[in-house]
Amino acid sequence: MATSLAPLTIASIVFLILYFAALIILLAGLATRRISIKSRWSLLLFHVCIRLAAQCVGIAFGVLSFNARPLLIAYLVTSTEGYFTLVLSLILFFIHWQRRAEGASWLARDDLPLVGKGWKAGLKKHFDPREVRKRPIDAGQHVSMGTPGECALKD
């Protein structure tokens, strides 16, 4: 007697396969050094890993049904975190596009050395209250995304 899978399980399996393919492509790019670990692609790789975890939890919840309510909560949390990382990676892609098209981005500052030499002084200058008042979007960006200063420039 064959059991039928819930629609959530089938959808999770399909997206698990798609995200796994994306993971393989991104890992191949890292292995061949076409993309750097300090680039915006690494945040996209992190997004794919979070979404893979969400899809695995979705499959488990679909199989066990509502007998495992904590799995539903875990699925919702990991899915939300996955979409949050997607938004952050889209912001980094947008910053990169702006810098290529216009030479500068209004989302990120170019004058702070946040990686490499002088990053401590750049970080202190970045969170100086007088500097934050000038460009308030920068402080929130660096708190939520780490230090994308030069990382957003790399392919």
Q: Are the CB atoms for 81 and 50 separated by under 8 Å? A: yes
Predicted confidence (pLDDT) at residue 131 exceeds the cutoff of 80: no
Scan for tokens 């990169």, then name that residue: 96
The model scores a pTM over 0.85: no
- Token pair for 155: 């392919």
Task: Reduce the DSSP state of residue 103 to 3 states and report it.
Answer: coil
What are the sequence ranges of the domains in the chain?
7-145
- What one-character-per-residue DSSP string does 107-145 give? SS-SS---SSTTHHHHHHHHT-HHHHHH-HHHHHHHHHH
What does the pLDDT look like over 78-98, one tens digit per residue? 999 999 999 988 988 888 888
- Token pair for 124: 């202190």
Residue 17: partners with Cβ closer than 8 Å, 6 or more residues away: none
Return the sign of the alpha-carbon dihedral for residues 48, 23, 41, 91. Answer: negative
* CA diameter of the chain: 70
Residue 8: partners with Cβ closer than 8 Å, 6 or more residues away: 58, 61, 62
Give the pLDDT mean for 45-66.
92
Instruction: Specify the higher pLDDT residue, 119 or 91.
Output: 91
Q: Return mean pLDDT, the chain.
A: 78
